[in-house]
Amino acid sequence: MSRIIYVNGSYRPYADALVHAEDRGFQFADSVYEVIEILGGKLVDATRHLVRLERSLGELGIRTPMGRASLQLVIREVIRRNRVRDGVVYLQVTRGEGPRDFAFPDDEVEPTLVVLARSQQREKNNALAAVGIAVKTMPDRRWGRSDIKTVMLLPACLAKDAAKQDGAREAWFVDSEGYITEGASSNAWIVTRDRVLVTRQLDHRILGGVTRATALDVAREYQMKVEQRAFTRAEALDAEEAFITSATNTVMPVVRIDGQPVGNGKPGIVSQRLRSQFHQCAEISAL
Ligand code: PDD
């Protein structure tokens, strides 16, 4: 079965799908995106993801390619045509195409919309969660508006690759004051020795993760203590547990930071509980 991708109004096999070479997403990273988990053929937290997409577009003044209901139909059709049961939907909107010019083209330019769906083995991710992952800290060299989900991902790619060279799966960014901001493609959390969940407050330095928001709902449901505030690398190294949240991982335990074990070096009970209860609290929408 050949995979089908949606590009600007049509569903095509990958080999036939085209985006213009002077698309601003390609030339300037003038573009935003979303990644939504697919669980058993259903979308996880679609509303929160689509609300965030609209916010990202609004912050950058990129036109909305279509209304939320139509976009949902496209997403569903892409999932159906690719027969994805478990995996992710990726959608990207760029400001559109035009002769290369830093200043924006006029309002008539149509935004570019790409939607694809990909299968991912849940078992693999569960097996990883059973042992936990390592993270590597490094300076946060991104721009000052990391709250907008843009495709300006080169600092994240460089950081993830450096982490990979060190046997770590994620990079944790550290700001100029020594506080962890977030992961290269996830939000960062710790559980202190007195069982308080800590994750950075929402500000311009981090993406307001959808998984973060739902994990906070789970924590509330189980009356866990939560503090939304910045924490340092030293505090993380002294923590009982650590974990990351993202649409591709839900809740993933972190067992090593810069080669040093977190807690007893095994996935902790709080992280495991958040992970096991996550989908009970998330919005699961039928297709
Ligand atoms: N990344 N922070 C950053 C910088 C991210 O790129 C992501 C998600 C998150 C977590 O957001 P959410 O919980 O909404 O997935 C936080 C996606 C998964 C990616 O780029 O593949």
Q: Which domains does the chain have, with CATH numbers?
A: 4-119 (3.30.470.10), 125-285 (3.20.10.10)
C-alpha to C-alpha distances, 249 to 37, 132, 139, nearest whole angstrom: 9, 11, 23
The question of whether 225 is a catalytic residue gets the answer no
Ranges of residues in the chain whose predicted pLDDT is under 70: 1, 287
Within 8 A by CB and 6+ apart from 46, the residues are 36, 72, 75, 283, 285
Beta bridge partners of 246: 250
Phi, psi of 252, deg, nearest 5: -120, 115
Tokens 């990909």 locate to 118
Catalytic entry in 42, 149, 164, 225: 149
Within 8 A by CB and 6+ apart from 252, the residues are 125, 128, 129, 132, 133, 186, 243, 244, 245, 246, 271, 275
Taking the C-alpha atoms of residue 126 and residue 110, their distance in angstroms, rounded to an integer, is 41
Q: What is the pLDDT of residue 108?
A: 84
Q: What is the pLDDT of residue 107?
A: 74
Q: What is the pLDDT of residue 71?
A: 97
pLDDT digits (tens, 9 = 90+) for 176-204: 999 999 999 999 999 999 999 999 999 99
Q: Whose CA is nearest to atom 16 of ligand 1?
A: 186
Take residue 252 and report the two structure tokens written for it: 């993933």
Q: Whose CA is nearest to atom 19 of ligand 1?
A: 185
Ligand 1 pocket residues where CB is under 6 Å:
35, 182, 185-187, 207, 209-212, 245-248
Q: What is the pLDDT of residue 106?
A: 83
pLDDT digits (tens, 9 = 90+) for 56-77: 999 999 999 999 999 999 999 9
Q: What is the pLDDT of residue 241?
A: 98
What's the gap in Å between 160 CA and the centre of ligand 1? Answer: 13
What's the gap in Å between 182 CA and the centre of ligand 1? Answer: 10
What's the gap in Å between 106 CA and the centre of ligand 1? Answer: 31
